[in-house]
């Protein structure tokens, strides 16, 4: 069973540019969540998608957006990049709605560096 796949693994962008990151969840998983990880800050929740609908959003500015497609694949977009956006962006999928919850399966992340 393939895991969660994130592309690209590494990305270098210039301030002011925009970037799109991609995530393919585990087959059958309909819930996809995005997190930003920076040193000392842990994982900060960005948003969660289920069946192409954004169900929940974290405290990030509107420059951060996302979407989910009918095959559950998800993309997140960051516009007008700032130096502080440099981070590891993690995507996680799960079988949402089950009574018991065994957590998310994370991808390896996309390391974004803004210069």
Partner 1 sequence: DQQVKQNSPSLSVQEGRISILNCDYTNSMFDYFLWYKKYPAEGPTFLISISSIKDKNEDGRFTVFLNKSAKHLSLHIVPSQPGDSAVYFCAAREYTGGFKTIFGAGTRLFVKA
Per rule CB under 8 A, is residue 98 in the interface with partner 1? no
Asked if 76 contacts 58 with a C-beta cutoff of 8 angstroms, the reply is: no
Considering only 14-22, 63-71, 72-80, 99-107, which stretch makes contact with partner 1 by CB under 8 A?
Answer: 99-107
* Six token digits for residue 62: 């509107």
CB of 40 to partner 1, least distance (A): 6
Residues facing 23 on adjacent strands: 6, 74
Per rule CB under 8 A, is residue 96 in the interface with partner 1? yes
Count of residues engaged in binding partner 1, rule: CB under 8 A: 30
The span from the CA of 91 to the CA of 68, in Å, is: 12
Burial class (CB in 10 A: 0-12, 13-18, 19+), 35: buried
Site for partner 1 in 22-81 (CB under 8 A): 31, 33, 35, 40-45, 48, 50, 54-56, 58
Which residue from 81, 91, 90 is spatially nearest to 113, judged by alpha carbons? 81
**What is the binding site for partner 1 (CB under 8 A)?**
4, 31, 33, 35, 40-45, 48, 50, 54-56, 58, 90, 92, 94, 96, 100-109
């Amino acid at each position: 069973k393939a895991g969660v796949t994130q592309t690209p693994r590494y990305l270098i962008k210039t301030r002011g540019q925009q970037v799109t990151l991609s995530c393919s969840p585990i087959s059958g998983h309909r819930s996809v969540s995005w997190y930003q990880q920076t040193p000392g800050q842990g994982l900060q929740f960005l948003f969660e998608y289920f069946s192409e609908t954004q169900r929940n959003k974290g405290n990030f500015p509107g420059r951060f957006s996302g979407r989910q497609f009918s095959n559950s694949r998800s993309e997140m977009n960051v516009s007008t990049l700032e130096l502080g956006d440099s981070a590891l962006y993690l995507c996680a999928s799960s079988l949402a709605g089950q009574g018991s919850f065994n957590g998310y399966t994370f991808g390896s992340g996309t390391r974004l560096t803004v210069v």
